A and B are shown apart, each in its own frame.
Chain A
């Protein structure tokens, strides 16, 4: 750029004439100076140096490349006429105009009719401005006016010069320097604009007109990024007539202002007025996303995509939300180390987190002993172990199996490189998963949905539940909420508060009689961590034991119990637990360290035959060792597996269903209604919601044997899906 500038400025003089040698293809091609190019173009166009049409066009096109908006390129256009448009375009315009004319005619007549009643005095009009208020301007702005007359540069009276007082002018200039300027008048953001418009007295036409106008103002303010003002104007529009568009726009403005609550209520208003409004759904999804209600956001987005599969915004938002669902943002978690596995599951792939973890791992491991140091291994144990793998499982990818173990190991040993490598893998894996998920949702929402309608939820919807409930397993929302709150508190170091939350969750769990031992196990395990942190080793041991009763050989409770035992100096038991941990996963350095330490202590204490005094170390079954990651209470993995199984089952069921149905149809054709009946019943067992089967099953009935079962099923068939299909299909 600078070189070009030099190239041009060294040779050109903007004031002077353009030398003839510059009117040359080569020169013009090389010239990068817009201003000079414009000058050249001017000369070329003027024809002073001769007329070169090609060179002129060349110059124009080159200038356009350099500066497409150059004023020199503006050409006078002839005004377009109907003929210069395509026929369709023009007829469209004419049609629009015609409808508008007709509409305005109607409006006008109704306005005229209403005039009869227009004698009502308008009360809200302010009084006449203080009449005869001797116009303040001539006084207040007296000085201003004077100054203006002396500053205005053009038509300056000669008389002024006679009156010119040099000293006073100088003083004025000096004075200006010292003069304290009043502060800038920034026209305030929303200065006293009423959010309501008095429109009670107006006619419907006027109201419409006004409402539209206020909305337009809102739109303009929105475009100028003046969101607060936009909100005010939308509110004004709404106070006249509540319209979908104004609500929708206000919601958008509120979103921009991060007023989630208000935006939400606006979206709801729209959806009340017009259920299924795509924009409102989209905006509500945005709000949900930002208020961390990912599931709701996803639901809304799927509804949108069902309506408009091509909606790019929805697709984008969906993929973002799904990503967030898997790895919620770090913001709440920053700066604190995480102890609890369940918390980590949510966001274990976040970069910050990774770095923290990495940094932590590089440090030499600390001896487990006192309360202080015992925290460290606990943390590691929690972080390194079971988290990543359930994820791999959840995505159904092979990654969990093959990468799980070495991953954990790498992580644990704190070898920067390998750990790093592994941190990348789950992330990319998830991206892939996301990708497929997304594709599934956009391209084949319908398919997805329709298949989802059959029996168990599958595909996207199933995954979505998993994703959201991932940290909470099968817990109902209030409980998972309690749990998440607990996790958060724990992370923030408020252990006793967290403890309370977990206790509540456990209580709620027992009350609601849910059958999900793995979740309860996690709750106990988490509570145990709190106890451990609080130094309440007894209760910690108790909780861990409970957790282990529910889920034998889960790593974390074991590790925690071991630490608790250790801090109570019950080394033998601690040793046993650590050993168990190591049987489950050899790659837990904390356990290794502790085992070594405790061994030394026990040898000191009990002498050479210390082993004999040890409690029995349970033999960890092979399944727990190999598929260790299945054993820990990873609700997610379990659910993923369940889902997979369900899908398999469904696929099989589908096959069997079709087969049975075909058999049934065959039998019907052969007249063997009894057999057909049996086949159809089989079908119904597989898919009770299939209407056609009911109809098929009952079809033979009316003709030949009218059994009560038949009529009932017919009725059900009708009730569930109104159009009765009377044909064999």
Chain B
């Protein structure tokens, strides 16, 4: 049963069943600089923790003590470490421990140690399925929690089970539907699609790349000023070693101002979804992309690249002026070095 934190428990120093343990003060002979003003409960619990660590005790009451400490200070990594060793020594039922961890997580214990403890437990239980569900629930509240996302990636990579992988694309799509700008979700997608080996059904890597390009283009069309989507697009092209110029037809409209309202509509090109009418254009990432295309083409196209970089430096992305001017200077160096 869950013991409410508010329920008054006597201090360990007042509990007869703890009388055999010698509590140890934190600082014995030193008056420390920068002391922390501990509560009586915390000082008492940690004094007893130091006591049982010294005697190397691993017993059920140690589980109670370490739980007490981590409720007061979830960052106390030594208490977590000792708790884990005790669980192993006692051969405690780890599913119960995971259930306790679920409750602690609900009470907003958001530190890294909570997640790492789960990782240690699931390595023992070898039952990762419920973890994915737990992670998904966690991410509803805290959509970009770094520890949560990297724990999910670790579960998938470590167990490397097709059944676990099979729902991931759906999961990422749901997260991106909820917020197309969630960079953690985009990173997760790249991990699932390109960095975890080849699974059954995905052997046609060209088809996978085409699918991903179509996916990211659709998302750019909805909200073009989204650095996550453009970084993903670049990532896919770099990974597939595809030249950026293959996306020129798609990117071009995003690098130009919105056409006047009376412009006749374009013929719909499924390969090149157009920006929504509400998109704020030109979009900086698209201008940069076009400049990269022109730079790669070289020769006379370098002038076009330079013009685009100048527009970024002086108008659209002025905070990065120095970087855009660096790109201009570098392209001129290559030109003079490379031209025959």
A, B in one complex: no
User: Measuring CB to CB, which residues of chain B are less than 8 angstroms from any residue of chain A?
Assistant: none
User: Measuring CB to CB, which residues of chain A are less than 8 angstroms from any residue of chain B?
Assistant: none
